[in-house]
Structure 1
Amino acid sequence: MKRNLVAGLSALLMTLAGITPAAPGVASGSEDMTSQIIVKFRDDRAAARVLQQHGLSDGPGIGSTGAHLLNVPAGKEHQDIEALNRSPIVEYAEPDLVATATTADQYFPRQYSLQNDGQSFTNTAGTITVAPGKADADVDAVEAWSVTTGNGIKVAVLDSGVATDNPDISPKVVARANFSTARTNEDHYGHGTHVAGTVAASMNNTIGIAGVCPGCTILAGKVLNDSGVGSSSSVANGINWAVSNGARVINMSIGVPASRTLETAVNNAWKNGAVLVAAAGNGNNQTKIYPAAYPNVIAAAATDNRDAKAPFSTYGASWVDIAAPGVNVFSTFPNHPFVLGTQNNRSQGYDVGNGTSISSPIVAATAALVWSSTPGATATAVRAKVESTADKIAGTGTFWAKGRVNADRAVR
């Protein structure tokens, strides 16, 4: 039997902090007004006369409520509401309030990557305090959810597996396969569970976190063993399996030297309509790693909660396509002992992680949301939408080509 001369492959390692219970939190919706108001008349026959007196025109009805939606001059919303409410013909006039998605997930207030209000927060153990961030230095996931949560879109996570005992992500796994040298497809390393949770952890189940694409499902391809090491052949096999099982997006938070076999697998997946995303690396240099550097893969760099390049992130606009949060990002971990937890003398469940390994699944999940919002699109169109709608933050054109991913703009 010929010796298998494949390049060694490893996860792009994360650092993580301790895990202890924290109080549940709820993100509240905004009460900002739109440029429209809502009016309900006591006598619709007299409505035109009242509106004419105030220089307004009637608007469309709102379902079966009997109320109408009126356009008003910007800045005059409150003035017109007060004037109309003084009319005996008007039953009520009120603002058309901006609604935002909310989630009751335990650690959601700490998920600045999804919604950044400039908050400061700690890791689960309280041993690390993250300094206040920059408001809106996030991917606008909450706003994107008003369009789609990605229901039915399969994202393949080719990694160290996904823990079967974390209730926030395990139920989202619809298929598992083991291409590594590990005995089972369980995640005893921890990396794959964190990546998968970043993509698709359940939303509004009162525990843990929410994924960027909470309606997505996961194909858990274990290509790294329980020490976080695999091979180019294991990843190539995982890519083929993912395509065969209907993956619309394939995430690879892994790094390997150039491999013709791996590039062929990547190209075949692209030709079969899958969008592929990979981590750019944590070397703080411009050295290419693969599969991220292949043309048919979106290479993801890491930013922090102030939209600055992460100190560790590999960079280079000539081949790194896009950026996403990758510093102190909360996600899922196994609820059994795992290597990353043991190395850091930590417990299990949920915690922050750092690395382009986390940026990549945020981009992958955004691509999945785009698939969901644009039925019939091609992989080329989905990739173009993700990249062209990125926010042109500082570093665009130098550290990365397109900007920091924006899920809301991508799905519009």
Structure 2
Amino acid sequence: MANGPMDRRAFGEQPNRQGAPGMGQGTEYTGRYVILLDPSNQESGLNALRSSADIASVERVRGSEAGNVAELLERPDVSVHFEELGAAVVEVRPEQRHALVTTAEAESAIIAAEPERMVYASPVITPQQAPTEFYPAFRSDEDVVARHTRAEMAAAQGPAWDEQRWTWGIQAIHAHLSSLTGRDVKVAVLDTGVDTDHPDFAGRIEATASFVPGETVEDGNGHGTHCIGTACGPASPQKGPRYGVACDARILAAKVLSNGGSGTDGQILAGMAWAVARGARVISMSLGAPVRPGELFPQTYEKLAKRALERGVVIVAAAGNESNRPPDIMPVGRPANCPSILAVGALTKGMMSAFFSNGGINGQGGEVNIAAPGWQVHSAAPGGGYQPMSGTSMATPHVAGVIALLAQANPNATAHDLVAALKSGAFPLMLPIRDVGAGLLQAP
């Protein structure tokens, strides 16, 4: 991820969002709530909130609409209802929050209600800058790697790989040996956008949408373009080795994090709803926020992931990069810690867990499900170029690409079938299941 200015929220200063009252130092919330509705009775749930909690005017988002969703999510006088997923992001006055929670507990048409969190990718953190307190963040992989020593990085290189024709990651998962290409399978990547003019993506981008106010889908960061390249880069790039897994897959690019790496739960949910409506078979989310040991997974993300699975969509997410091996291993972050979302750990070139890769130390969904290459991964960069990046963010799109290959091989497979095939095809590693789950990702 491109280095940017220090985000003051990482050190507890008040966000600059209009209409988010009650924001204090160290807070992680926007002041809004994410509401999960009974999909068969959505209007009843909204009506209950209107009458008891006096929620703001509700704007509906239907199907694959993108339009002015980003701006609606920023307005303090509007709540946004995503019919596709049966979820809403609601504005509520501080004095009405208790009534909202009470109504949510009593109303059968409301499945869950959780405060919306601020999410953002942190800038470069040096040992001197690292905050001593816990603040959840959608964190840049490169920032975490930058904290570590040259000796650690050298140890991660492992044996030499000949990368003239294929990147080491493509070789490690045997994608270069597969006859499958992901043809006609739609892969959605929710991130910082995409370089729509990159020659390697020509004719491959099915649709784009930005859910970030005031920003187009163009990637001014680099993280999103890199992840899209790993999942869907071409068999014969303009320059250098093949780096993409599903070379003929159709690309759905949703910008849910700004060029500076910041966003909200609502923007990510908007991207999920858009991707499902657009017919994605897999949604790749190389983003996340750290959680404490023992912390439960977010109910809204879990329920929505279940609904996506029922519609044939697999969601994969980065396990997170807060660990400092040895000895510190941090738990899988959110939303990858949801039972219905595949959590992806990162491997080095030496087939060891990357020192930053989080582990499955929390139960109830907090497991690592599978591991993939996540060290010095070569992929696309904005401006038509290429760059290496490291992190569980880089491992995740490898998995998304393989799911596209599996979907091509069996177009009638359910999402559960695809997940089962993915796990059963993994190569067992002599590493703790806590760190790598089923093992090393393998292309069919």
So what's the TM-score if we normalise by structure 2? 0.60
1:349 and 2:374 correspond: no
CA distance in 2, matches of 1:288, 1:305: 22
Q: How much identity, in percent, do the aligned residues show?
A: 36
Aligned pairs (5 A) from 1:361-380? 361-380=397-416
Show the counterpart of 1:308: 352
247 and 358 in structure 1: CA distance in 2 versus 1, 3 angstrom threshold: same
1:186 and 2:218 correspond: yes
| 1:279 aligned residue (299, 310, 318) | 318
SS of equivalent to 2:372: strand
CA distance in 2, matches of 1:199, 1:288: 22
CA distance in 1, matches of 2:274, 2:238: 33
Which residue identity does 1:141 align to in structure 2? Answer: A
1:323 and 2:371 correspond: yes
SS of equivalent to 1:15: helix
Aligned pairs (5 A) from 1:165-314? 165-169=197-201, 171-208=203-240, 209-256=242-289, 258-284=297-323, 285-314=329-358
CA distance in 2, matches of 1:108, 1:263: 41
Structure 2 unpaired stretches of 5+:
1-18, 21-30, 33-114, 122-138, 146-162, 292-296, 324-328
Which residue identity does 1:334 align to in structure 2? Answer: P
Aligned pairs (5 A) from 1:139-154? 139-144=173-178, 146=179, 148-154=180-186
Show the counterpart of 1:98: none
Larger radius of gyration: 1
Structure of higher RCO (CA pairs closer than 8 Å, 6+ residues apart): 1
Which residue identity does 1:140 align to in structure 2? Answer: H
Show the counterpart of 2:14: none
| 1:112 aligned residue (168, 186, 206) | 168
Report the CA distance between 1:226 and its aligned residue: 1.1
Say if 2:243 and 2:378, in contact at 8 Å, map to a contact too: no
SS of equivalent to 1:193: helix
CA distance in 2, matches of 1:399, 1:283: 13
CA distance in 2, matches of 1:381, 1:281: 26
Show the counterpart of 2:294: none
Which residue identity does 1:371 align to in structure 2? Answer: A
Structure 1 unpaired stretches of 5+:
18-106, 116-137, 336-347
Say if 2:353 and 2:436, in contact at 8 Å, map to a contact too: no
Say if 1:163 and 1:170, in contact at 8 Å, map to a contact too: no
Show the counterpart of 1:390: 426
182 and 190 in structure 1: CA distance in 2 versus 1, 3 angstrom threshold: farther
Say if 2:141 and 2:321, in contact at 8 Å, map to a contact too: no
Which residue identity does 1:191 align to in structure 2? Answer: H
Show the counterpart of 1:8: 118
CA distance in 2, matches of 1:316, 1:371: 27
Aligned pairs (5 A) from 1:35-184? 109=165, 111-115=167-171, 138-144=172-178, 146=179, 148-169=180-201, 171-184=203-216
Aligned length: 283
CA distance in 2, matches of 1:243, 1:359: 22
What do the CA deviations read for 1:179-201 (whole angstroms, capped 9, x no partner)? 12342111111110000000111
CA distance in 1, matches of 2:212, 2:372: 28
Report the CA distance between 1:109 and its aligned residue: 3.4
What do the CA deviations read for 1:17-39 (whole angstroms, capped 9, x no partner)? 9xxxxxxxxxxxxxxxxxxxxxx
What do the CA deviations read for 1:316-347 (whole angstroms, capped 9, x no partner)? 27511110000011000101xxxxxxxxxxxx
